[in-house]
Structure 1
């Protein structure tokens, strides 16, 4: 064999050896290296841990917080931390013609912000004089979340000052909007509404004041009306929109409670802490017999209300109605149900096209007579 042939044979053998070594490595005989991280597996594990933490927070943290802290209960009930004071000093920028912003002192150190919109029954006074003429005034008490600038509240003010031709005053309780930043409570918001009412009475001692409450504001209205009756200073009329009978009953029937209803001792964990806390235990039913039975009342409730179910409002109507039975010259309580087909839900009854006519009919009706439930609208 020649030298050249030998060299070629050596090269052939070397190539064969390299190929064999490569095949062996392909079979897994690589030198030991770090395993590649399994990204999918780690991501799935992280998501599982987050889900478990969320479940623990919802089903352990929330009940514990509700049971242990009155501050938590007050924040959950009022949701005042969701409000903003932006732009509230200029009500006309929200489309409220001939309006102004003002403040009223409630408890010591507490200022309540309010809007006043003049009745359109007269020309707008350039200097915004307080409550000119003899028009009645609606004191509007809103529910939880947001401020007096919410769309449904603006709509109500415009309708009352326009077609109904009343002055309108809408307030923000403490903790809401540009009022004093203090966590609300039952006694606090009732005192705020009382301070607003008393200021109106001092400004126009001989004029009619109509209290309009919406949602939790209906319960504030009931407590306020009881105080006013005790002080012999009753309003001319009361209008309750989407009224609740009691906070406890609303918690039981509210859709937000559904994820927790399966928990054993639901009432003890979620309902009783509110009912046993005087800072949040709004109970309109308990106030019914203490109101002046000669003050006419109008109640409006949508059948598709998922926040305060229709049954809760109707239950309150029955209680107020029964409290007036047998009382001489008692004023009627009129309950108006709105069909679910309207889609009014909890906050949109004020957009009903004939609402102004309905209110005008109520205010102009005979203040003495039996209570009644009107046909569905």
Structure 2
């Protein structure tokens, strides 16, 4: 009987020790945060930061309008990176010379002059004077004006230069002020000044006279690719705007801010005054500028010039996958451009 009682007492002590150990383990485990609760805490914190940034951006745009100018021009995004713009041969443009033109005081423009592909052998080792003299040979000259963001070395822009050169044209591609290796800061007026300066520079060396009309200079022909009607409508359809279309005061914070700071780019209004032949190229699957804007520009230009022969629009099927920058890949593009250039008055 004594042995049984001792065993019972010993068993009681053992069970108490086990219970105490379990209780202590429970306390220690509950004191440590679970991985799931820690993850949830970080998720909530991150979501709060995103919401604060989302709400802050419109007010920052309004308070600091220079931000929206940088977004529109995107000239600080100098892609591709690590490219020496003074060496176009690095991009297989080995019949191209790099030069710098002074459009106005303090503004230096980086420009590439690519001769027709048929002259690439002759162009090897030639200096700037030879390239300039070649402009007077009577061969068509294309002034290539790229869109916002990046430099003249962007892959799709180099692709366009190759296409035009292969057709047999001179191509002059510039980076506007503030873009690439050009100096200054971009403005809408400044970009126009740079373009007109290059046009007059080319005209002076090609031996042809500048045509003028009451509404301004009349160029031989204009080709626009993936163009919007105006920056207000273009901005409303830009992928960046998709995040804020439902934001209260979207027009006030973004679109009105652009207009109040002279960022307008009224292509629709300009076409009402233009009297040059016009070719509009646009991809149906353009994800930056919807094709309905190209259709609007076509109708405006056709109405202004009152002639079907003066204005032509060619859409590219969405199934081709060209999006906004891929039209240069189309095998029919050389023939389209060649046909348009042949219709221009000498």
Same fold per TM (> 0.5)?
yes
Q: Secondary structure at the match of 2:289?
A: coil
Instruction: Write the distance in 2 (CA, Å) between the matches of 1:159 and 1:353.
Output: 10
Q: 2:45 aligns with which of 30, 42, 49?
A: 49
1:252 maps to 236
Q: Is structure 2 residue 153 aligned with structure 1 residue 149?
A: yes
Q: 2:264 aligns with which of 270, 281, 284?
A: 281
Q: Which structure shows the bigger proportion of residues in helix conformation?
A: 2
Instruction: Write the distance in 2 (CA, Å) between the matches of 1:61 and 1:233.
Output: 44
1:71 maps to 66
Q: Is structure 2 residue 116 aligned with structure 1 residue 100?
A: no
Instruction: Write the distance in 2 (CA, Å) between the matches of 1:175 and 1:64.
Output: 26
The number of residues matched between the two structures is 336
Q: Is structure 2 residue 321 aligned with structure 1 residue 343?
A: yes
1:321 maps to 302
Instruction: Write the distance in 2 (CA, Å) between the matches of 1:85 and 1:285.
Output: 37
Query: What is the CA distance between 1:99 and its match in structure 2?
Result: 0.7
Conservation of the 8 A alpha-carbon contact between 2:221 and 2:344? no
Conservation of the 8 A alpha-carbon contact between 1:106 and 1:192? yes
1:174 maps to 177
Instruction: Write the distance in 1 (CA, Å) between the matches of 2:24 and 2:131.
Output: 94
Change (3 A) 1:229 1:11: farther
Change (3 A) 1:203 1:244: same
Instruction: Write the distance in 2 (CA, Å) between the matches of 1:364 and 1:354.
Output: 16
Query: What is the CA distance between 1:89 and its match in structure 2?
Result: 1.3
Q: Secondary structure at the match of 1:44?
A: helix
Query: What is the CA distance between 1:264 and its match in structure 2?
Result: 3.2
Conservation of the 8 A alpha-carbon contact between 1:244 and 1:313? yes
1:1-377 aligned within 5 A: 15-16=10-11, 18-28=13-23, 35-58=31-54, 60-83=55-78, 84=81, 86-122=83-119, 124-125=122-123, 126-128=125-127, 129-131=130-132, 132=134, 133-163=137-167, 165-180=168-183, 182-206=184-208, 233-278=217-262, 280-291=263-274, 293=275, 295-325=276-306, 332-365=310-343
Q: CA RMSD in A?
A: 3.0
Instruction: Write the distance in 2 (CA, Å) between the matches of 1:356 and 1:143.
Output: 21
Q: Secondary structure at the match of 2:152?
A: coil
Q: Secondary structure at the match of 2:180?
A: coil
Q: Secondary structure at the match of 2:315?
A: strand
Q: Secondary structure at the match of 1:82?
A: coil
Instruction: Write the distance in 2 (CA, Å) between the matches of 1:103 and 1:233.
Output: 24
Q: Secondary structure at the match of 1:138?
A: strand
